[in-house]
Amino acid sequence: MDPMRLMNDRKYGRTFLLLALLFLLSGGYLKLMALEKENLSRSLEEENRQVEIFSKAPHRPSSLPFLESLFSTASPASLVNAAEEGGLKVDTVSEEEKEGENGIFHIFHISGTGTYAQIVQTFDIIKGKERWSAVNLKELKRSPKGLAYEMEVQTFQIRGTYEKEKYSPHRSHGHRQEPGGENTL
């Protein structure tokens, strides 16, 4: 069969045109995939270069001591001093420790008497002196000596670094329990 006659035939011409279009599209798709792989390899090379630069950089000192100073623990004496600085009379102070999902924190229960302005001023003093603490007024009622109040001060503790937690006995097996020999499956 003559190739020119085959090319000029309408039936085969459409087939050749569709095949040419298919080859052109598949070539374009392969070119796009190759460009995507080249971009990925360039980004990985850049990431490797950044890691090498970081590993050659001088070691920076840790900022953990600064963070531990931000989360210094509050004492009942410091809270009583802050309340008395605000003009409140403190009758009782009690402390309890709770472990929540965000770590361990202390709760101080303070009760006494004073005026409304003194109570509000004491809130400001405690928030200014004790960082990372929350002051909640639990009860406020009239008494012969003025306003009787009960407040709760929550102070949040630092959870520590990963190394401190990793080897801590109460976190290694969960809920301070030693691993048992029972099969959970």
Does the pLDDT at position 30 exceed 90? yes
| Same domain as 109, residue 141 | yes
Could you tell me if 92 and 154 lie in one domain? yes
Total tally of structural domains belonging to the chain: 2
Which two tokens mark 48? 């490797």
User: Residue 20 has which token pair?
Assistant: 């040419």
Distance CA 18, CA 13 (A): 9
User: Does the model's pTM come out above 0.95?
Assistant: no
Looking at the predicted structure, is the pLDDT value of residue 83 above 80? yes
Band (pLDDT 50/70/90 cuts) for residue 1 is low
Q: Do 73 and 125 reside in the same domain of the chain?
A: yes
pLDDT of residue 173: 52
Q: What is the CATH number of the domain that holds 82?
A: 3.30.70.60
**Domain span holding position 7:** 3-56
Task: Give yes or no for residue 181 having a pLDDT over 90.
Answer: no
* Residue 66 pLDDT grade (very low, low, confident, very high; cuts 50, 70, 90): low
Residues 35 and 100 in one domain: no
Q: pLDDT by residue (tens digit) across 91-147?
A: 999 988 887 666 677 889 999 999 989 988 988 888 877 767 788 889 999 988 889
75 & 141 share domain:
yes
The beta strands (E) that lie in the chain are given as 89-100, 103-114, 133-143, 146-156
Confirm whether 171 is domain-assigned.
no
Note whether residue 169 is domain-resident: no
In angstroms, the CA 107 to CA 126 distance is 14
Residue 182 lies in a domain: no
Mean pLDDT of the chain: 79
Residue 46 and residue 12 share a domain: yes
Residue 184 has pLDDT above 60, yes or no: no
Kindly state whether residues 94 and 155 are assigned to the same domain.
yes
pLDDT band at 161 (very low <50, low <70, confident <90, very high): very low
What phi and psi, each to the nearest 5 degrees, are found at residue 59?
-70, 130
Residues 51 and 81 both lie in one domain:
no
Please tell me the predicted confidence (pLDDT) of residue 59: 76
CA angle 115, 156, 148 (to 5 degrees): 20
What angle, rounded to 10 degrees, do the helices at 116-129 and 76-85 form? 130
86 lies in the same domain as 149: yes
pLDDT confidence band for 77 (50 / 70 / 90):
confident
According to the per-residue pLDDT averaged within each range, which of 1-15, 48-62, 98-112 is highest?
48-62
Shared domain for 27 and 98, answered yes or no, is: no
Contact 140, 149 (CB under 8 A): yes
Q: Which residues of 80-109 are buried (b: 16+ CB within 10 A; e: fewer)?
A: bebbeebebebeebeeeeeeeeeeebbebe
pLDDT over threshold 50, residue 163: no
The average pLDDT across 48-77 equals 76
